[in-house]
Amino acid sequence: MNKSVLAIALSTCLLSACSSTPSMSSITGDERFSESFVRAHLIKDKTTLAEVASLYGEPESRNNYSDGSSSLTYRKRTTRDQLKSLYNLVDAIPGADSAKSALAQASNKTYDLDKASSSLKELSGNKDHDSNYLSVTFDKNGIVRSWSQ
């Protein structure tokens, strides 16, 4: 009886995860991390910390420096990251080996999709740099001093 309840709970989790899986455009990359988006929206000596926070949300890390400046680092959360999180959750459930295997295969396929997307960008002549990380440095007044990807 416990195994059938566990199977139903696992199925529910997997179905809800699939229903919230991002569209193909977000699987292939988040525009906010493209070089052209960053260049257009993070303007040195103009863009404020509050504006950056409204564009990117909560940073992965924050650093404060002795001169009063600071930096925020953001990381793009990919579909593969989400699948790994789900895999770790399922890994804690005894007897869920087939679900773990399916999630591992799905994670590998997203890696293949990312590589294919990158190749298509190159073939189409798209030279825009797309990064998974963004670090923004602010002066002591909270104005963008520089950024890097």
- 68 and 83 inside one domain: no
Q: How many domains does the chain have?
A: 2
- Is the pLDDT higher at 141 or at 100? 141
- 70 and 139 inside one domain: yes
Burial group, residue 49, by CB count within 10 angstroms (0-12, 13-18, 19+): middle
Binning pLDDT at 50, 70 and 90, where does residue 120 land? low
Q: Is residue 26 part of a domain?
A: no
Over residues 9-15, the mean pLDDT reads 53
Fill in the amino acid letter for 135: S
Range list of β-strands (E), the chain = 61-64, 70-75, 133-138, 144-148
Residue 93, pLDDT score: 80
- 109 and 72 inside one domain: no
Residue 128, pLDDT score: 61
- Residues 75 and 56: their CA atoms lie apart, in Å, by 9
Q: Is residue 33 part of a domain?
A: no
Taking only the tens place, the pLDDT of each residue in 46-85 is 999 999 999 999 999 999 999 999 999 999 876 666 667 7
The pair of structure tokens assigned to 40 is 């257009």
Residue 65, pLDDT score: 97
Phi-psi region at 139: left, alpha or beta (left = phi > 0; alpha = psi -120 to 50): beta
- Is the pLDDT higher at 4 or at 119? 119
Q: Is residue 53 part of a domain?
A: yes
Q: Is residue 72 part of a domain?
A: yes
Residue 19, pLDDT score: 44
Q: Is residue 5 part of a domain?
A: yes
Q: How close are the terminal C-alpha atoms of the chain, in Å?
A: 52
Residue 25, pLDDT score: 36
Counting every residue, how long is the chain?
149
- Is the pLDDT higher at 139 or at 16? 139
Q: Is residue 105 part of a domain?
A: yes
Is it the case that residue 141 has pLDDT exceeding 70?
Answer: yes
- 68 and 141 inside one domain: yes
- 84 and 111 inside one domain: yes
Is it the case that residue 127 has pLDDT exceeding 70?
Answer: no
Give the list of residues 6+ apart from residue 43 with CB closer than 8 angstroms, or none: 144
Could you tell me the residue range of the domain that residue 58 belongs to?
42-76+131-149
Q: Is residue 96 part of a domain?
A: yes
Residue 20, pLDDT score: 43
Averaged confidence pLDDT in the chain? 76
